[in-house]
Amino acid sequence: MAKMRLEENWNFSNIETWYLDLKQFRNLSDQIAETFSVHHESPQVLLIENGECIYEASHFDISCDEMAEVIDYHHK
């Protein structure tokens, strides 16, 4: 449901996106959580810029509007 909501509202064509299948790549997911000091959740969105996690949200807290605000803030 969260993935569908995100796809319906996604309008960030200039941002490279990656989808990680946690069942198939759990070790990679754990490494990402450790690297960026985030608590692992599923579903979850992380915005990574210059090696830093600038936004993270999970489940119904995932918001394209909030992501746009964060992106705008970091690109001023």
* Residues whose CB is less than 8 angstroms from the CB of residue 49 and which lie 6 or more positions away in sequence, other chains included: 74
Residue 6 has pLDDT above 90, yes or no: no
Long-range contacts (CB closer than 8 Å, 24 or more residues apart) made by 42-47: 43/2, 43/3, 45/6, 47/15, 47/71
Query: Residue 27: its pLDDT value, please?
Result: 94
Q: What is the pLDDT of residues 29-76, one digit of tens each?
A: 999 999 999 998 889 999 999 999 999 999 989 999 999 999 999 987
User: What's the pLDDT at 1?
Assistant: 82
- 2-74 folds as Glutaredoxin (3.40.30)
Q: Where are the beta strands (DSSP E) in 1-76?
A: 44-49, 52-58
Q: What does the domain layout of the chain look like in residue ranges?
A: 2-74
